[in-house]
Structure 1
C-alpha cells in the first residue's frame, strides 16, 4: 500500500518513466479502472484527462499549471475562431493563440538563449530572473518556485505544438471545435505521448475521442509487441551502450583516441534512435491498449538514401508539423516571403557574430542582402533562392526547437545544407537512378555517416567540447590500437551490431516477426514478455537514464 501511495504522489526524484517498474504498476491500476469505464464516452474522457494530469503532475509538479493554462486558453480561442464571421477577427484570434503558445514556450525554453545572445551582442551583463515565478510566489504568499532560474517544464514543446495545431486547424476549417473542455484537455494531455511525443495533430486525434472502443485480440497483440519492442530499443540498444561506453567517451573525448570517439558517434546514432523511437513505440502501444491510434514517428530512418529522405523517416510528427505549419505557410518551394528574407538576414547576422566578430557579421549580412537584391533582377536566381531559403529556415527552426543553443542551430543548418545539396547533386549523380545493390548501399552509407557526424552538435555539451572531439579525430585516430578498443568494449559493440542489423532488416522480415507474435497463443506471448523483461532489467543501468527527448 505504501508503494502505491508513493507511485501516485509527486516526487521530484522519482517521476513515472516507462522503463521503471513503478510506471507499470501505475498503468496496471489505471488500465483496470479504464476497463470498467471505457464504454461511457464522457466518463472515459474525464477519467483519462484526470489520469493524464496526475501523470504530468508526477513528472513536473506545479508546472501542471502551464499545461492547464494552455488547455483553457486554446479551448476558448478555438471556439471564438469558429464562431467568428469576420476573416480579420479569425486571423487575429489565431495569431493570438500562436503568440501566447510560442510566447510561453520561448519564456521557459529560450530565456537563457536570448539573454546570453543579447549580452554577447551588446556587451551587457543581464541575468535571467523568473518574473513568472516571482509573481506566483507573491500571489500565493509562499516561495513555491525558484526565481533565480527558469526551469524547462517537461514536454512543453510537444503539447504547445499540439494546441497550436488545434487553433490553426479550426481556422483552416479542417476540424470543428470540441464542445467539452474535458475532451479538449484529454487531447492535449493524453499521458502516453504527453512528455516526449509523438506530436499529435488535432485533426487526427479529435475524431477518436468520441468513437466506440473495441480492442480486438490482434490489436492487443500488436500493442504488446510495440511496447516490448520499445523497451528493448530503450533499455538494451540505448541505455546499455550509453552507460557502458559512450558516456565515458563523450565526458572527456580528449582522453580517448579519435577512433574511439568515432565509434562513440556511431553508438550515439543508435542510442538516440533507440531512446526516442523506443519511447514512441511504447507510447503507441499504450494508446493502442486503450483503443487510440497515435501517428507513426519513425520509419527505419537509417535506411534513408539522402538527407531529405531521412527527415521523412525521423521524428515524422515534428517534420510533418514543421512542413504544414511553417514551411508551406512561408512559401514552401515556390516563393519566398517577407518572413523568409527577414529571418535569413537576422540569423545570418547573429550566427556570424556569435562565432566570428561584428565585422564578419556585417559582411555576411551585406552579402545576403546583396543576394536578395540581385534576385529582384534575375528570375532564375530568384527561383533557386526561393526554393531553398525556406528549407534552410525550416531546418534552422527545427534545430532551435531541439535545444536553446547555437550548436543546435548549427546542427539544424547542416541538415538543411544536406537537403539542399542533394537537390542539386541528384541531377548529376551517376548512380541516382541505379537499381544496383551497391549503389543503394553507398547512398544509405553516405547519408548515415553524414547524419551521424552532424550529431556531435546535438550531443556535445559545448562548442569547446565539440572542438575537442574533432581535434582527436583529426590528429589522433590511433589506428594501431583500434583492435584493442574493439576487444575492450566487445560486448558493447556486439550489442551495437545487433541493434543496427535489426534496424536494417527488410520490412517483410519485421512484419513477419510482428505477425508471428500477434498470432501466437497467450502462453507464448507471456513467455516472450518474461524473457524481454529479464533481458531488459539485467542490462538496466544503475544510474537513472531519462529519455533524451524529455529535455525538449
Structure 2
C-alpha cells in the first residue's frame, strides 16, 4: 500500500522518473489500460493526455497549472492565426504567443539572473519576489506556492519551445491547428518527452495524433532495446561515475590534483552524454511501445570531427529549433540585422560583468573596435562579420537556454567561437580533405578535448570554482600521483573506458547488436532485461539522482 501511495501522491524529493521502480509499476499499469483503449483514437488521446498531466503533477506538483495555462493560450492563438487572412493580425497573434511564452519562461527561469545582473551593474540590492505565488495563494486557504523564492518548474524550457514552434508553424502555413484542445494538450504534454525532450515539432507529431495506433514487432523490439540502452547509459555510465568520483572532485576541485581534475572533466563528458541521451533513448523507446515516433536527439556526438559537426549530433532537437526559429529569422548567414547587433552587444556587456576583471574590460571592447573598423574599411571583413554574427548569437542564446548564469553564456560563446574558427581553419588546413584513419582520429580527439574543456563552464557551480579547477591543472598537475589516482578509482575508470569504447563503436556494429536483439527469441529478450536490471541495481544508489536536464 505504501508503494501505491508513493506512486499516486506528489513528493518533491522523489518525483516519478525513469530510473525508479515506481515509474515502471506506473507504466505497467497505464500500458495495460492502453491495450484496451488504443483502437479508439479519441479515447486513446484523452487517456494519454490525462496520464501525461498526472505524470507532470508527479514531477512538479501544482506547477501543472503552468502547463495547462501554456496549453490553453497557444491552442486559441493557433486557432486565431489560422482563421485570419489579415497579415497584420496574424503577425500580432504569433508575436503574442512568443511574448507570453518567453515572458513566462523568463519569470521562472531568469528572474534571479536579471535581478543579480541589474544589481551588479547599477550597485542596487533589489530582491526577487514571487508575485505570482502571492497572487495564486490569495485564492486558497492553503499556501501551495512558496513566496520567498521562485522555483523553476521541471521541463519548462522544453514545453515552452514546443508551444512556440506550434504557433510559428501555423503562421508559416506549415501545419493546421488541431481541432480539439485535448488533442493539443496531448501534443504539448506527451509524458515520455515532456520534462527533458526531445523537443517535438508540431509538423512531426500532429499527424500521429489522428492516426490509428500501429505497433509493429520492429517497433516493440526497437522500443524495448532503446529503453534498456537508456537505462545502462543513465544508471551506469552517468550515475555510477558521478556518485563514486565526479561529484567529489567537482565539489572541492582544489583538494585534488590537476590530473584528477582532468580525469573528472573527461568523466563528466561521459556523464552528461549518458544522462541526457539515456533519458531520450528511454523516451523514444516508451513512445514506440505506444505507437508514436519521436525524433532522434543524439547521433554519437563524440565522433564529431569539428565543433559544428558536434552540434549537429548533440541535442539535435534543440540545435535545429534554434536554427529554424532564431538563426534564420535573424538573417542566417546572409546578413547581420539591427536586432542581431543590439542583442550581441547586451550579451557581451553581460560577459564583461561576469568576468569582472580588467583584462575582459580591455579585450572585448578592443575586439569590437577592431571589428567595427575592419567592417568600415573592408567589404570582405564586413561580409565575414555579417556571416558569423548570427551564428555566434545563436550559440550565446543557446548557452543561456541551458542555465540562468553568465557562465552558460560563456560556454555557448566558446562553442560558437569553435565553430567560427573551424570555418576559417578548414580553408587553409592541409589535412582538411585527407581521410586516413589517423587524421580522422586526430580530428575527433581535438574536437573532444575542446568540448570537454569548455564544459567546465557548464558543470562548475561558480566562476571561483572554475578558476580553482583550471589553477589545479596548470599549477598542480602531479603526474607522479597519477598511478595512485587510477588505482584508487579503478572501477570508475573501467566503467568510463567501457562507456567510451561503446560510444565509438562503428554504427554498423551498434545496428547489428540491435538487430540481434530483435531477432532473438522472447526468453533471450527476458534474459537481457534481467541482466540489465541486475547491472542497474548494482549501480543504484539510495540517493536521488535526477536527470541533469531536468533543471533546464
Give the TM-score range, shorter chain: over 0.9
**Counterparts of 2:369 and 2:484, CA distance in 1:** 53
The residue number in structure 2 matching 1:395 is 395
Contact 1:349–1:365, Cα closer than 8 Å, also in 2? no
TM-aligned CA deviation for residue 142 of structure 1: 3.4
Q: In the TM superposition, what whole-angstrom CA distance separates every residue of 1:110-159 from its partner, at most 9, and x where no partner exists? A: 00000000000000000000000011112324322111100000000000
**Counterparts of 1:57 and 1:406, CA distance in 2:** 31
Going from structure 1 to structure 2, the CA distance change for 1:501 and 1:367 (only over 3 Å counts) comes to: closer
The residue number in structure 1 matching 2:228 is 228
The residue number in structure 2 matching 1:215 is 215
Contact 2:71–2:185, Cα closer than 8 Å, also in 1? yes
The residue number in structure 1 matching 2:202 is 202
TM-score scaled by length of structure 1:
0.98
The residue number in structure 2 matching 1:497 is 497
Q: In the TM superposition, what whole-angstrom CA distance separates every residue of 1:69-119 from its partner, at most 9, and x where no partner exists? A: 000000000000001111111111000000000000000000000000000
**Counterparts of 2:195 and 2:299, CA distance in 1:** 21
1:336-355 superposed matches below 5 A: 336-355=336-355
**Counterparts of 1:356 and 1:15, CA distance in 2:** 39
The residue number in structure 2 matching 1:371 is 371
Contact 1:348–1:361, Cα closer than 8 Å, also in 2? no
1:271-420 superposed matches below 5 A: 271-356=271-356, 364=364, 368=368, 371-372=371-372, 375=375, 378-420=378-420
TM-aligned CA deviation for residue 218 of structure 1: 1.6
The residue number in structure 2 matching 1:47 is 47
For 1:15, what is the secondary structure of its paired residue? coil
TM-aligned CA deviation for residue 361 of structure 1: 5.0
1:145-184 superposed matches below 5 A: 145-184=145-184
Contact 2:301–2:310, Cα closer than 8 Å, also in 1? yes
**Counterparts of 2:151 and 2:166, CA distance in 1:** 26
The residue number in structure 1 matching 2:470 is 470
For 1:129, what is the secondary structure of its paired residue? coil
For 1:139, what is the secondary structure of its paired residue? coil
**Counterparts of 2:147 and 2:52, CA distance in 1:** 28
Q: Which runs of 4+ in 1 moved over 4 A?
A: 357-367
The residue number in structure 2 matching 1:267 is 267
Contact 1:78–1:177, Cα closer than 8 Å, also in 2? yes
**Counterparts of 2:146 and 2:344, CA distance in 1:** 36
Contact 1:253–1:468, Cα closer than 8 Å, also in 2? yes
Q: In the TM superposition, what whole-angstrom CA distance separates every residue of 1:432-480 from its partner, at most 9, and x where no partner exists? A: 1101110000000000000000000000010000011001000111101
Contact 2:14–2:544, Cα closer than 8 Å, also in 1? no
**Counterparts of 1:366 and 1:96, CA distance in 2:** 38
For 2:126, what is the secondary structure of its paired residue? coil
Contact 1:351–1:361, Cα closer than 8 Å, also in 2? no
Contact 1:101–1:164, Cα closer than 8 Å, also in 2? yes
TM-aligned CA deviation for residue 216 of structure 1: 1.2
**Counterparts of 1:340 and 1:47, CA distance in 2:** 44
**Counterparts of 2:528 and 2:364, CA distance in 1:** 59
The residue number in structure 1 matching 2:479 is 479
The answer to whether residue 115 in structure 2 is matched with residue 115 in structure 1 is: yes
Gaps of 5+ in 2: none
For 1:57, what is the secondary structure of its paired residue? helix
Q: In the TM superposition, what whole-angstrom CA distance separates every residue of 1:394-432 from its partner, at most 9, and x where no partner exists? A: 000010000000110110000000000000000111111
1:117-136 superposed matches below 5 A: 117-136=117-136
CA RMSD of aligned residues (A): 1.4
Contact 1:262–1:473, Cα closer than 8 Å, also in 2? yes
**Counterparts of 1:160 and 1:137, CA distance in 2:** 24
Going from structure 1 to structure 2, the CA distance change for 1:127 and 1:362 (only over 3 Å counts) comes to: farther
For 1:140, what is the secondary structure of its paired residue? coil
Contact 1:56–1:64, Cα closer than 8 Å, also in 2? yes
**Counterparts of 1:533 and 1:7, CA distance in 2:** 20
Gaps of 5+ in 1: none
The residue number in structure 2 matching 1:546 is 546
TM-aligned CA deviation for residue 8 of structure 1: 1.6
Task: Identify the range of structure 1 (138-147 vs 84-93) with the bigger mean alpha-carbon deviation.
Answer: 138-147
TM-aligned CA deviation for residue 378 of structure 1: 3.3
- Paired residues, number: 552
For 2:448, what is the secondary structure of its paired residue? helix
The residue number in structure 2 matching 1:78 is 78
